[in-house]
Structure 1
Amino acid sequence: MIRRGCSKPLASAALLSGLGLALAAGPALAQSKPGTLRVAMTAGDIPLTTGEPSQGGEGIRFMGITVYDGLTRWDLSKADRPPVIVPDLAESWAVHDDDKKVWTFRLRRGVKFHDGSEFTADAVTFNFDKLLTKSAPQYDEAQAVQGSLWDGSLASWRKIDDYTVEITTKQPDANLPYALANIFMSSPRRWEEMGRDWNKVAQKPSGTGPWRLESFKPRERADLVRNANHWDPARIPKSERLILYPMPDSNTRVAALLSGQVDWVEAPPPDAIPRLRQQKMQIVTNIYPHVWPYQLSFLDDSPFRDVRVRKAANLAIDREGLVKLLGGLAVPAKGQIDPSHPWFGRPSFDITYDPKEAMRLLAEAGYGPKKPLRLTMIISTSGSGQMQPLPMNEFIKENFKDVGIDMEFEVLDWEALRTRRRLGAWAPENKGRSGINNSTAYWDPDIGLIGPAASFMPVPLGFNWGRYKNDKADALATKAKQTFDPKEQDKVLAELHTVMVDDAMWLWVVHDLNPRAMRPNVKGFVQAQSWFQDLTSVTVE
């Protein structure tokens, strides 16, 4: 459906709608059970359990790095610095000197799946085939769709010996270790035991991760238990159980925390923060590589083909006002990348609030009172990293109205929006849509910069939803993929971001601060500067 937004005062009211009921819960009546961590997710359903989770980054956080391991992983143990890629199921890796498309991965010995079978090179090839080889008996369309975000550069793979795998990419790709942190290893034996049926595997999956999935009910809860035999003693969970509840409505999450139904909530609504603090709840935030934008269409029927329109729309947004609406749980964006990041570069287009200049640019582009600019944006009700999408979009709608832009919304749930993003702006389902409000991260170069800006990247991997094409961006993206020295790659990526901002490639709004609220007896959590978080250190006293 397409619906119109409401006035700016009502945007704040939308955020508060129903919150009175949540706050009326008063002091928590229920008590936490020691050793059990209960989490309210923003997702509307339990993420796919078979290996490649659905529900975006939140699915990876709660059903990926919990139940499974990848060949690489993010070190999420520190709060004072950005995480880095470290060995996981692969002890080491190297790109070949004479062919930069070929990598060798040395696997960790002694790792067991939850079903007791051994992790070897055969398991690695099994899992790559389940995502990319349609003729393989284990190929799974559901996992392939989710994995397409990460496996687009893989050309081939082969077992060298039981603990060595060779991976060849389609082109030289310095970012392969980043991608492999999101490709998770499922047990081949469990797939055989369940009659080679992934639907049955979903009920009893087997990974190598620090948690085992005990049971789940769609849209209700998932119960995970500690894997006391995890191969890394430092990452054996300190809690006995982890219970996940899908709660896409922010007010429901607040009520659940205050009533004692859960110990931890993702993305509490800003207006609830004072009451949560009054009730001695912990409010934890940290900077991290994440941005809340509108990805734009560059098709022939899109007004955003005109750079003047793109710049005008960026200048029309009162980001400081939006940050106030969000209770200070965000910072204004100056582009895809935060200015403190080494990839920011030196763009000349200053993304600020300048409605007069926005109106001037729109008039120059042929829009005005007699010909308002009309847009239809695809937005979500909630979801992984979407913050408070309905009131935020209503607020921006009023900003746009002030300069002569008439914006309407097509409102979807999060997973439906992700499907429409993967299809691209040219899909029949997206016809006539000017953009899609899909929050995104820049924890690795492909996700943050190369994918969105390069016309040669596959759509699911690249986030190039709108078919953006810029020769300078393509050249720099290619150069970055082929630059294996990290410091030199940083310089290339800074140049690429400069091009993206000066061309106003997207509408960038805010960087959120990744807030979560938890009860006073939740201990040991270290909030990494990442969209992903490690729950193995957390206890409930």
Structure 2
Amino acid sequence: MVYKKMVAALRHLRQTKRIALVSVGVAFFATPAMSEDQVLRIAMTASDIPLTTGQPDSGFEGYRFLGYTIYDALINWDMSSAEDVSGLTPGLAESWEVDAEDSRIWTFTLREGVAFHDGSEWNADAAIWNLDKIYDEDAEQFDARQAGNVRGRIPSMDGYEKVDDYTIQFTTSEPDAWFPYQLSFLLFSSPAQWEALGGDWDAFASAPSGTGPFKLTRLVPRERAVLEPNLEYWDEERVPRLTRLELIPMPESSSRTSALLSDQVDWIESPAPDAIPRMQSQGIEITSNPYPHTWPYQFSMQEGSPWRDINVRKAANLAVDREGLEAMLGGLMVPAVGIVTPDHPWYGEPTFETRYDPEEAIRLLAESGFSPENPVEIKVLISTSGSGQMQPLAMNEYIQQNLAEVGIALDFEVLDWESLFPNWRRGADDASSRGAHATNITFAWLDPFSAFYRFMHSSMAPPNGFNWGYMDDPEYDRLLDEARVTFDQTEQDAILAEFHARMVDDAAWLWVAHDVGPRAMQPRVKGFVQAKNWFQDLTPVYIEE
């Protein structure tokens, strides 16, 4: 395979620094008409560089660009297909199994022959050290910031231990069929590098060491992160083709668009819909692919919240003209009628139809004493940008107009993404929520826990999880608890379908859109396969001459 030969040549070149080999590298690059300077500049939606110590912040954009590039999980995502929804694949663990007699016990066999970027060895001791940095508050390497970013994603973790040099064992607090999905968010940093930097996580952030396909070589807060390939990456199929990857925070969509049109960057996340025709006229390519994503309003169910009235909840869902919103976004969304799409096995058979019906919305609000002349007043936390937030300002203004027409007056509390996202686990009653009745944070439904449990189970109320609005429904809890301990996939799907149908019938949230992950890139950017996932694999990407 030409590419594997090219990687081998580059490895040898860096090790020996023999100029004679440069001609070999150029010859291999010539086959795919690749530019000699393989530099990719990406404008992110974040306003700052996500945390680089191992457990990123800034939502899933943090994982996309500074998580799965520098680090690996025990279980990774397979992002190689544009046709199939991404599934799990072995990462730093070669295999795993649940105990046949006690389904709370999981045994993981670790991958041998893997090294961190600093050259130190990946093994069970490194794995336990990383688990302690998240779960053992008495450990010297414990990092509250990293713990806060990931603990809520792995709620059933109860214990862990080393079995031998390449085997570890987890114990969950109760049987949990979703545990492997949760472990995909736990990334592993180098203990040796942390110790070499004096046990300082701030110093580690500027010189991190993981096992991932890229290494971070330069970090300038709020300006850029520069990554280079890990030519010794354990998965030879995923050794990067780029020589340098530059990640630039740029929260304003107009700024990202201008940067792309002026050739200051090669790729932008979430292009402004009204600029797409102009970009296409200049040869810029627009990519998109639907993926498990929902853009909602998550309601507060606390005393005094208007959303406690089911008429208000249903009216809001009937007042949004989703097709009009789709047209405003240039077709770059899919209307949402629940957390998951109607073709998904978890959707179920709800009796309430989420649709555009403003007359019915007005009727329902009238039953509760509200009208366009006497509206119910509701405050919502929104962001200016952020991971998966699409075009939050324009979308929220559109929804504000829709709801005003039926008798719901929205007042927005606008925060930057780095302020809104941490509020998610603080809850509606926290001072940082500023008395809001809803929050607008998008999320992935990659698995049942991330889709439902962390939001709707009463045990996930802050600070344990992301039940921001303090939903407390015994029937929700019963169905979710039953699904979580059901290891037969068909039976589990049926339980989740019943749960989701109940949610839709309750109009538990305001469902608005599913994203299609639009990106715009210069025509010279090649090799990108847009997976049906929040996360994307940058290792196949290259720059063509």
2:27 alignment partner in structure 1: none
1:314 alignment partner in structure 2: 317
Q: What whole-Å deviation, never above 9, does each CA across 1:218-264 have from its counterpart, x for those lacking one? A: 01000000000001101101111111000001011111111111111
Q: 2:280 aligns with which of 269, 277, 288?
A: 277
- Indicate the RMSD between aligned Cα atoms, in angstroms: 1.4
Runs of 5+ consecutive residues of structure 2 not aligned to the other structure: 1-34
2:73 alignment partner in structure 1: 70
State how far apart, in whole Å, the 1-side matches of 2:497 and 2:89 are.
Answer: 24
Q: Which amino acid aligns with 1:388?
A: Q
Q: 1:389 aligns with which of 373, 392, 409?
A: 392
2:505 alignment partner in structure 1: 502
Residue 148 of structure 1, CA deviation:
2.3
State how far apart, in whole Å, the 2-side matches of 1:35 and 1:429 are.
Answer: 44
CA contact (8 A) 1:450 1:462 kept: no
2:292 alignment partner in structure 1: 289
Q: 1:46 aligns with which of 37, 45, 49?
A: 49
CA contact (8 A) 1:447 1:463 kept: no
State how far apart, in whole Å, the 1-side matches of 2:278 and 2:47 are.
Answer: 25
CA contact (8 A) 2:141 2:199 kept: yes
**Given the alignment of the two structures, is residue 261 of structure 1 paired with residue 268 of structure 2, yes or no?**
no
User: Any idea what SS the aligned residue of 2:468 has?
Assistant: coil
Q: Which amino acid aligns with 2:269?
A: E
CA contact (8 A) 2:291 2:532 kept: yes
CA contact (8 A) 1:93 1:105 kept: yes
Q: Which amino acid aligns with 1:113?
A: F
**Given the alignment of the two structures, is residue 452 of structure 1 paired with residue 452 of structure 2, yes or no?**
no
For residues 427 and 460 of structure 1, do their structure 2 counterparts lie closer, same or farther at Cα, with a shift above 3 Å needed?
same
1:112 alignment partner in structure 2: 115
State how far apart, in whole Å, the 2-side matches of 1:399 and 1:157 are.
Answer: 51
State the number of aligned residues.
511
Mapping for residues 374-523 of structure 1, pairs under 5 Å = 374-457=377-460, 459=462, 462-523=465-526
CA contact (8 A) 2:85 2:532 kept: yes
User: Any idea what SS the aligned residue of 2:425 has?
Assistant: helix
Residue 423 of structure 1, CA deviation:
0.1
State how far apart, in whole Å, the 2-side matches of 1:468 and 1:155 are.
Answer: 24
CA contact (8 A) 1:447 1:461 kept: no
For residues 359 and 463 of structure 1, do their structure 2 counterparts lie closer, same or farther at Cα, with a shift above 3 Å needed?
same
State how far apart, in whole Å, the 1-side matches of 2:124 and 2:489 are.
Answer: 28
Give the TM-score normalised by structure 1. Answer: 0.93
State how far apart, in whole Å, the 2-side matches of 1:122 and 1:462 are.
Answer: 29
**Given the alignment of the two structures, is residue 198 of structure 1 paired with residue 201 of structure 2, yes or no?**
yes
Give the TM-score normalised by structure 2. Answer: 0.92
CA contact (8 A) 1:453 1:500 kept: no
State how far apart, in whole Å, the 2-side matches of 1:212 and 1:461 are.
Answer: 33
Compare relative contact order (CA 8 Å, sep 6+) and give the higher one, 1 or 2: 1
**Superposition misfits of 4+ residues, deviation over 4 angstroms:** none
Residue 488 of structure 1, CA deviation:
2.4
State how far apart, in whole Å, the 1-side matches of 2:466 and 2:445 are.
Answer: 12
Q: Which amino acid aligns with 2:177?
A: A
**Given the alignment of the two structures, is residue 94 of structure 1 paired with residue 97 of structure 2, yes or no?**
yes
1:81 alignment partner in structure 2: 84
2:141 alignment partner in structure 1: 138
Residue 486 of structure 1, CA deviation:
2.4
**Given the alignment of the two structures, is residue 332 of structure 1 paired with residue 341 of structure 2, yes or no?**
no
State how far apart, in whole Å, the 2-side matches of 1:528 and 1:146 are.
Answer: 24
User: Any idea what SS the aligned residue of 2:460 has?
Assistant: coil
Q: Which amino acid aligns with 2:192?
A: R
1:187 alignment partner in structure 2: 190
CA contact (8 A) 2:251 2:386 kept: yes
CA contact (8 A) 1:290 1:439 kept: yes
CA contact (8 A) 1:378 1:409 kept: yes
State how far apart, in whole Å, the 1-side matches of 2:465 and 2:511 are.
Answer: 17
State how far apart, in whole Å, the 1-side matches of 2:105 and 2:280 are.
Answer: 52
Q: 1:363 aligns with which of 363, 366, 375?
A: 366
For residues 319 and 272 of structure 1, do their structure 2 counterparts lie closer, same or farther at Cα, with a shift above 3 Å needed?
same
Q: What whole-Å deviation, never above 9, does each CA across 1:299-331 have from its counterpart, x for those lacking one? A: 001011111111111111111111111111001
For residues 405 and 327 of structure 1, do their structure 2 counterparts lie closer, same or farther at Cα, with a shift above 3 Å needed?
same
User: Any idea what SS the aligned residue of 1:474 has?
Assistant: helix
User: Any idea what SS the aligned residue of 1:82 has?
Assistant: coil
Runs of 5+ consecutive residues of structure 1 not aligned to the other structure: 1-31
**Given the alignment of the two structures, is residue 151 of structure 1 paired with residue 146 of structure 2, yes or no?**
no
